[in-house]
Amino acid sequence: MKFTTTPTLLGALVPLTAAFPSWVFEEAANDPQIAARADEILKRQEGAGAATALFEPVPIFDAEKQFVDVSEGSGHEYQAPGPDDIRGPCPGLNAFANHGFLPRNGYATITQYIEATTQVVGMGPNLALFLSTLGAAVDGSGTAWSMGGTPPASVGSGNGLSGSHNKYESDASPTRPDLYQDGNNYKTQADQFQELIDASPGGFVTMESLTSFRAQRFNTQKETNPYFFNGPFTGVLVQPAAYTFIYRFMANHSEEAPAGELSYDVIKSWFAIDGESGSYTANQGQERIPENWYKRAIAYPYETPYFLADVVNAAGLHPEFLDVGGNLGTTDSFTGVDINDLTGGIFNAGDLLQGNNLGCFAFQLSAQAKPDLLLGLLNPVTDLVGDLVSQLSCPKLRQADEDLLKQFPGYRQ
Ligand code: HEM
Ligand SMILES: *[C@@H]1O[C@H](CO)[C@@H](O)[C@H](O)[C@H]1NC(C)=O
C-alpha cells in the first residue's frame, strides 16, 4: 500500500488543518509568487518529508526569536548530570535537564515538561500536553514524573520513563537497545548511532534518511530480538516519534534552511556522541543543545496533526510499521494481530492510512492497552484522549481485546 499522491495526503489532512495559523494561508494567497511556489513544492514533495510543504508552506526565519541561548552566562549553560541526577531514554528531555530548562535532577511536573518542550524546541502545546500527562499517568505520580528510572522517595514516585516498557517506551528505537534483548532500554549505543549516520550519507540527517533507518531497525529487531514487540500505541505512535523528533526538533534553522538542517555535528551534540564516523563513542546522559542553535519557526509548532501526517507518510512508505504484533520467543517469528479483532471491529488495517484513522486508533489505545494501569490516575489521559478523539471526529473505541496481545512474550513479560 503506497501513499504517495498529494491529493490523498491533502484529503487525509483537511480536517486537521484547522489547527494551522490561517494568516499563513492568507499571506501565501495574497502573494502570487509565494502561492505559486508553495503549490509547486506541494506537487513535487512526496515521501517521508512531504508534510513539511503542507505545514510550513511559507519559509519563515527570525533569528532573534528562534535563537536558543545556552552560552556562558545565559543561565542555561550545559552542566553534566551529577550522580543523583536522573537521565533516561529520551535525549531531548535529558538535554533540557542538562541545560536547566527542566529541573537538573530529572524529575519534573507536567507543567514544567510542557513549558520546556513548547519553548525550547517548538513542540505544539496539545502534543506537549498529551505526552506530558501520559508520562505522569503511566510513569509518575499523576502530576510529575521521572525522565529516567525510579526516583528516590524523597524526590517523587512512579517508575519513570525507563520503567515504562510497552506503556511508553518501545522497541526498535533509533539509538537505544530493546529492553529484553540488552537488559536496558535507555543507554545510547554508539553502533546504532553509527548506523543512523551510515543511513544518512552526505553530511546531513533528513526525514527520508531517518525513515529508511527506522525500516532497517524495525527489520533488524524482528530478525534478532526474540521478544520484539510492536504495540498498538508504543509501536504505532511512540516509535515514529523517536525518529521524527530527531529531525523536527533537533535540526538547526536558518534563513537558507528555514525548515531545518541537521548536520552530523548538531545531532552528535544532541545525542552526546564524541569522535568521528567509524570511531563514535557515547557519553551516557550528557546530551546537550548545541551552541549557536536556532529552533523551528515560532509560527510552525510541531503539533499533533503535523506529527500524525509524518506518521502516515512513513507508514505509506513502509506499511510494516503498522503491523501490531511481535515475535513469539524466537527470532524472525513476527506474527501480527488483526486490528479488526483487537478493536472490536472499529478499525481495519486496510483503512488505517485513511482520514484520521491512524491517530484515532493509536491515541485511543494509549489509555487502554495495559491492564496494570491505575484507572484513577489515567482519568486526565482519558479526558485528553476524549478531546483528541472529538477533534479528529474519531469512531469511538469501546474496548481493546488485550488477550490478543498476550500471545507475545515481549508483551507479557
Ligand atoms: C514531554 C515530552 C516528551 C516525552 C514524554 C518523551 C518521551 C520519550 C520516550 C518514552 C522515549 C523512548 C521511546 C523509545 O523507546 O523509543 C523517547 C525517545 C526519544 N525522544 Fe522523547 N519525549 C519527549 C520530548 C522529546 C523532545 C522535545 C525531543 C527532542 C528534542 C525528543 C526526542 C526523542 C528522541 C530522538 C528519542 C529516541 C531516542 C533514541 O532511541 O535514539 N523527545 N522520548
Ligand atoms: C545554525 O545555522 C546558522 C546559519 O547557517 C549558523 O550560523 C549556526 O552556526 C548553525 N548552528 C549550528 C549549531 O550548527
Sign of CA dihedral 53, 54, 58, 61: negative
Ligand 1: which of 93, 302, 321 to mutate, most ligand atoms within 8 Å of CB?
93
pTM for the complete prediction? 0.90
Please give the number of the atom of ligand 2 that sits closest to the Cα of 252: 1
What is the mean predicted confidence (pLDDT) over 58-67?
97
Query: 409: CA distance to ligand 1 center in Å?
Result: 25
CA-nearest residue for atom 9, ligand 2, is 292
Q: Residue 68's beta-bridge partner residues?
A: 293
Mean pLDDT for all residues in the chain: 88
- Number of the ligand closest to the Cα of 292: 2
What is the mean predicted confidence (pLDDT) over 31-39?
55
Domains detected in the chain: 22-411 (1.10.489.10)
| 50 Cβ closer than 6 Å to some ligand 1 atom | no
| 266 Cβ closer than 6 Å to some ligand 2 atom | yes
Please give the number of the atom of ligand 2 that sits closest to the Cα of 269: 13
- Structure confidence at residue 412 (pLDDT): 87
What's the pLDDT band for 152 if we cut at 50, 70, 90? Answer: very high
The span from the CA of 170 to the CA of 163, in Å, is: 11
| 91 Cβ closer than 6 Å to some ligand 1 atom | yes
pLDDT tens readout for residues 381-404: 778 888 888 888 899 888 888 889
State what percent of residues in the chain have pLDDT above 70. 86
| 294 Cβ closer than 6 Å to some ligand 2 atom | yes
What is the mean predicted confidence (pLDDT) over 47-72?
95
Q: Dmax over Cα atoms in the chain, in whole Å?
A: 61
Q: Are 384 and 128 in contact (CB under 8 A)?
A: no
Q: Which residue has the cell 552542566?
A: 79
pLDDT tens readout for residues 287-300: 999 999 999 999 99
- Structure confidence at residue 375 (pLDDT): 43
Put residue 325 in one of left, alpha, beta given phi > 0 → left and psi -120 to 50 → alpha. left
| 70 Cβ closer than 6 Å to some ligand 1 atom | no
Q: Which three cell numbers stand for residue 24?
A: 499563513
Sign of CA dihedral 359, 361, 364, 365: negative
Nearest to 304 by CA among 383, 260, 240: 240
